[in-house]
């Protein structure tokens, strides 16, 4: 599978391309168009994105998202299940995170508005490249409700200024680390490593990022 920049197609968006192997055409390329409910809109792929890309995670075709309750709550639920087959497989995590971010963006931002902004910036700055235009839109047009976007950081900064105005300048700074590499690391790290080695003897704490984040937040 080759990922690309998500592009909107009416009620679907493109998440990348899937190379399909069959006897007639061993290297047939199929564009992956995904709806907000997580299903592929391709006529040849009458299944969910999970089943199309990760069939080995769903033996006998069971266990994938069934369209009930919304895709975002489903992803939140399975990511909260620690030491699960989904959280221990990084390709699944990375792809579904991209799908989640795209769906959130489509839910709160009108595609027509983004297209209008792109055309306006191209007219105002004809010397800008496509990357420059997208960077400007990410910085000024995407809503602050999307975590880690520039407007989100700007909102967090303004809230920090309000706290300083009400309570004064902070005088105590505390930096916390998971300390996963030294001999003084938390016992949880050793426990995680011992546990995941039951699944694969080459695994370590690096192979379970969801679990590490969950334990770190619980410790705080």
pLDDT (tens digit per residue) in 166-200: 998 888 888 877 777 777 777 877 788 888 888 78
Provide the pLDDT for residue 161: 92
Does position 113 have pLDDT exceeding 80, yes or no? no
CB 33 within 8 A of CB 14: yes
Residues β-bridged to residue 2 = 17
C-alpha–C-alpha distance, residues 219 and 43, integer Å: 48
Task: Enumerate the domain spans of the chain.
Answer: 2-108, 144-170, 187-219
The rounded percent of the chain whose pLDDT value lies above 70 is 75
Residues β-bridged to residue 31 = 17
34's enclosing H/E stretch is: strand 28-35
Name the band, by pLDDT with cuts 50, 70 and 90, for residue 162. Answer: very high
Does position 107 have pLDDT exceeding 70, yes or no? no
Does position 9 have pLDDT exceeding 60, yes or no? no
157, HSE (Cβ side, Cα atoms, 13 Å):
7
Provide the pLDDT for residue 5: 41
Between 24 and 158, where is the model more confident? 158
pLDDT (tens digit per residue) in 45-96: 666 777 777 888 888 777 777 777 777 788 888 888 888 878 888 888 888 8
C-alpha–C-alpha distance, residues 38 and 92, integer Å: 13
Average pLDDT over residues 14-19: 69
Residue with the two structure tokens 């003084």: 184
C-alpha–C-alpha distance, residues 44 and 30, integer Å: 9
Q: Which of 19-23, 51-55, 61-65, 207-211 has the lowest mean pLDDT?
A: 19-23
Based on C-alpha coordinates, what's the Rg of the chain? 22
Provide the pLDDT for residue 111: 57
Does position 38 have pLDDT exceeding 60, yes or no? yes
**pTM of the full structure:** 0.60
pLDDT (tens digit per residue) in 116-148: 778 888 888 888 887 888 777 777 777 777 777
Tally Cβ neighbours within 10 Å of residue 6: 17
Q: Which residues have CB under 8 Å from 141's CB, separation 6+?
A: 109, 113, 114, 117
- For residue 51, CA distances in Å to 19, 54, 57, 70 come to 15, 5, 8, 17
C-alpha–C-alpha distance, residues 63 and 85, integer Å: 11
């Amino acid at each position: 599978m080759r990922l690309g920049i998500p592009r909107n197609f009416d009620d679907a968006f493109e998440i990348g391309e899937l190379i399909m192997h069959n006897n007639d055409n061993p290297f047939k390329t199929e564009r992956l168009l995904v709806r907000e409910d997580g299903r592929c809109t391709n006529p040849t792929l009458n299944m969910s994105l999970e089943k199309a890309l990760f069939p080995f995670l769903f033996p006998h075709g069971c266990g994938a998202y069934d369209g009930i309750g919304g895709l975002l709550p489903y992803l939140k639920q399975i990511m909260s299940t620690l030491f699960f087959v989904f959280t221990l497989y990084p390709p699944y995590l990375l792809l579904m995170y991209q799908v989640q971010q795209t769906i959130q963006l489509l839910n709160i931002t009108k595609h027509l508005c983004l297209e209008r902004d792109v055309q306006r910036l191209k007219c105002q700055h004809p010397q800008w490249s496509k990357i420059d235009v997208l960077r400007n839109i990410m910085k000024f047009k995407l809503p602050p409700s999307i975590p880690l976007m520039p407007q989100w950081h700007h909102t967090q900064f303004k809230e920090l200024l309000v706290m300083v105005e009400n309570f004064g300048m902070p005088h105590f700074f505390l930096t916390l680390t998971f300390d996963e590499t030294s001999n003084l690391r938390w016992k949880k790290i050793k426990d995680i490593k011992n546990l995941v080695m039951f699944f694969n003897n080459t695994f370590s704490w690096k192979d379970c990022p969801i679990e590490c984040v969950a334990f770190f937040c619980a410790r705080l």
